[in-house]
Structure 1
């Protein structure tokens, strides 16, 4: 097999690129590159630290709580972990997005000067950080599943899996929003968006207007699954907030808004002046 035809020597005397080579990495290549870059830095520690830091310390809270001393350790443990999971997901999304945009900013400006759509970089970043947040959600779900079995509640495994993963799906719109905000206004604006998301989740996720507040969707998905109000107060068995029909609504709204935000963000970075 013959080697590809090459151009003449470069100015520096190094090997020349093959004829026809273009500076247009594929979406999968961009995603893989972003993933490798992020896995070596702060997002890696957050991916592992967030679920572990949520699940393990809450065991002490559950044991010392009045309900825990009455024999409901597992119920309290699960509810407290899921409550904080729903509240913290917007902040985690903001930190993922802000870290992805802030790191190697000069390298990104160089890549923007090449002859391929800049939106490919945005979509690659989103896929990479979404995958990292998925790993975090999966780790939290696995830890809760282990505890579920140890407490002899194996029948609740489907509920535990849904409670760990569905709020993550509902948080993808927040992740896309924070990524676009980080590209447009920087690290601080994205972080502030995450803080606002935590407040909205804690205050408005169980209110009738939840559907109009994307930052509250992760916590809204937690409410019926964990059986708690957004403030952490347990729900009565017949409470309307236990209605599971909000789950496909929250996930569907998140998927739709994610697509819209990525389209808007793609147009923005394609037209952004260097």
Structure 2
């Protein structure tokens, strides 16, 4: 726990800490502005349509853009922070387990991403209240936020490994490639094989949105909720496997 607390404190007053607040608020503001521009739509008088449209905007762009690129940036900033502070020299002067340090770093990024998700959910509620969208669908917002977070945990060890190995360009490159691969794989039958597609695919039955941004009609196969537990199990399993493998790689790297 002391190691995890230390990791969390490292980023408290950094640019990474500011991004946790800024990025989800930006997504909510974008959705709010877009929603206001759609108010002339005849359906806009329907409060359920207002919320569906708003949540579709927020929770479609969040897994499509922020999760792949945001995690890539978070990982790059975390790796850069270590390089500025001595590039893990403390490992050679104190009895600190390299594997434990690596796992704590992954856990810290996971906690920061959870905080960012909570800010997003609060911003979504605020945006809905601003547009007078009617009764707040707390259950749908909570489900979308938590499922997005859990289904994206697999990306953290992958992106952190890339950032630690080759820095910002590889991390962002993998994040961008994952963003494209994720949106292409999400509606396919092999969505579960692409970690970047998990969150996007699982949003389909929760907020009734196609990965391409179009609202789904009743009876669409993508509305099948049975994919949610499958996607969560895949994400947590991949996260565990890559965390173990990358921690072994990191420990070997620091011992050289």
Relative to the length of structure 2, the TM-score reads: 0.89
Q: How far did residue 111 of structure 1 move? A: 2.1
Partners of 1:174 and 1:185 in 2: CA distance: 17
Partners of 1:125 and 1:137 in 2: CA distance: 18
CA contact (8 A) 2:29 2:127 kept: no
What root-mean-square deviation, in Å, do the aligned CA atoms of Structure 1 and Structure 2 show?
A: 1.8
1:43 to 16, 19, 35: 16
Structure 1 unmatched ranges of 5 or more = 1-27
Q: How far did residue 201 of structure 1 move? A: 2.5
2:31 to 50, 58, 61: 58
CA contact (8 A) 2:28 2:127 kept: no
Structure in which a larger fraction of residues adopt helix: 2
Tell me the equivalent position of 2:100: 120
CA contact (8 A) 1:101 1:182 kept: yes
Going from structure 1 to structure 2, the CA distance change for 1:116 and 1:60 (only over 3 Å counts) comes to closer
1:233 to 197, 214, 217: 214
Tell me the equivalent position of 1:83: 60
1:129 to 109, 122, 143: 109
Partners of 1:54 and 1:159 in 2: CA distance: 17
Q: How do 1:82-231 residues align onto structure 2 when only pairs under 5 Å count? A: 82-88=59-65, 89-105=67-83, 107-113=86-92, 114-148=94-128, 150-154=132-136, 156-231=137-212
Structure 2 unmatched ranges of 5 or more = none
CA contact (8 A) 1:62 1:74 kept: no
Larger Rg: 1
